[in-house]
């Protein structure tokens, strides 16, 4: 998908100045392998909510480094308007993607700490890789916040990170009693499914994506867009497949549905959910 490629390039450009090279290469490898569902959904949502229904359709150009820098700087002093340049929307989509990748990596490290093996020891190589990974996670989230700063999606981004922290804390505190021999509780801990807790991240990020896309073109997201995010979250769970596997079928309906709704149906507040 061209939108996924545009988002990936913008995300890579946003971390181009990270040093040392080993850390930069590590982050770039994460983005090379990442599913672009969050960023692509941001772009699709912006196109659907654009005032004329066509403003952001078609090929989305790759911003040069200088243009990307100007976009990020101008975001600090830009008020909400009825129009938004495609390059800036791509930058915002990269912000959503970077926040997700950082939190996803943090979740992986929390579940399987590389610093401590099952026997209470850790190989030096694994510990070094863990140190690199936690630095990468912090940088990804921080850069994502930077790209969304001063936008109406910034508050939702903060709430997404806060919710993630609460969820992972509650997951860690679950009693380790397994299924207690009851097959109906298989995969659950204390009667609670940890996978369902983990999947809250994907749900929150998809909501962030549709909100970011809509406010990037000066609109509030329609209830239908949030319904799309909910349906995707229910189908995907705690991981994203390639964007081409779960968003391609939505592309034609995004434009058609946005024209059907019209401006009077776009009543959802930009601060929700």
Domain boundaries in the chain?
2-117+127-173+190-265
Under 8 Å between Cβ of 220 and 45: no
Cβ-Cβ contacts under 8 Å for 46 (sequence gap 6 or more):
56, 84, 89, 92, 93, 213, 214, 216, 217
Q: Given CATH 3.10.129.10, say whether it is the number of domain 2-117+127-173+190-265.
A: no
Per-residue pLDDT of the chain (273 residues; tens, 9 = 90+): 789 999 999 999 999 999 999 999 999 999 999 999 999 999 999 998 885 444 444 434 333 444 444 444 444 444 343 345 788 999 999 999 999 999 999 999 988 777 666 555 556 666 678 889 999 999 999 999 999 999 999 999 999 999 999 999 998 888 765 544 344 444 555 567 889 999 999 999 999 999 999 999 999 888 989 999 999 999 988 989 999 888 876 665 565 554 455 443 433 444 445
- d(Cα 44, Cα 250) in Å, to the nearest integer? 9
Torsions phi, psi of 222, nearest 5? -75, 155
- In our burial notation (b when 16+ CB lie closer than 10 A, e otherwise), range 135-169 reads ebbebbbebbbebbeebbbbebbeebbeebeebbe
3-state secondary structure of 189: strand
Report CA torsion sign: 213, 33, 230, 147.
negative
- d(Cα 43, Cα 54) in Å, to the nearest integer? 12
Orientation of helix 124-148 relative to helix 154-172, angle to 10°: 150
Whole-number pLDDT of residue 50: 83
Q: What is the pTM of this model?
A: 0.77
Chain length of the chain: 273
Cβ-Cβ contacts under 8 Å for 34 (sequence gap 6 or more):
8, 11, 97, 101
Whole-number pLDDT of residue 117: 60
Whole-number pLDDT of residue 72: 42
3-state secondary structure of 101: helix
Considering only the C-alpha atoms of the chain, give the largest distance between any 2 of them, rounded to a whole number of Å: 61
Torsions phi, psi of 192, nearest 5? -115, 135
- d(Cα 47, Cα 213) in Å, to the nearest integer? 8
């Amino acid at each position: 998908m061209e939108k996924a490629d545009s988002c990936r390039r913008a995300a890579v450009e946003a971390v181009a100045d990270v040093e040392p090279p080993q850390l930069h290469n590590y982050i770039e490898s994460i983005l090379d392998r990442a599913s672009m569902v969050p960023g692509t959904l941001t772009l699709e949502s912006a196109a659907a909510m654009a005032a004329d229904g066509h403003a952001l359709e078609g090929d989305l150009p790759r911003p040069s480094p200088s243009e990307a820098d100007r976009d990020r700087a101008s975001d600090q002093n830009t008020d909400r308007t009825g129009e938004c340049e495609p390059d800036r929307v791509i930058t915002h989509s990269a912000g959503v993607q970077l926040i997700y990748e950082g939190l996803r990596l943090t979740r992986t490290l929390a579940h399987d700490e590389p610093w401590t093996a099952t026997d209470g020891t850790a190989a030096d190589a694994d510990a070094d890789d863990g140190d690199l990974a936690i630095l990468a996670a912090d940088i990804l989230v921080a850069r994502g916040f930077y790209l969304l700063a001063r936008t109406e999606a910034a508050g939702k981004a903060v709430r997404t990170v806060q919710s993630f922290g609460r969820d992972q804390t509650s997951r860690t505190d679950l009693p380790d009693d397994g299924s207690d021999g009851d097959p109906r509780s298989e995969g659950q801990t204390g009667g609670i499914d940890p996978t369902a807790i983990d999947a809250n991240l994907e749900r929150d990020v998809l909501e962030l994506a549709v909100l970011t896309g809509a406010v990037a073109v000066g609109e509030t997201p329609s209830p239908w867009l949030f319904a799309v995010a909910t349906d995707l979250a229910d189908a995907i769970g705690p991981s994203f497949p390639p964007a081409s596997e779960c968003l391609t079928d939505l592309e034609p309906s995004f434009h058609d549905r946005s024209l059907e709704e019209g401006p009077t149906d776009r009543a959802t507040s930009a601060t929700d959910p």
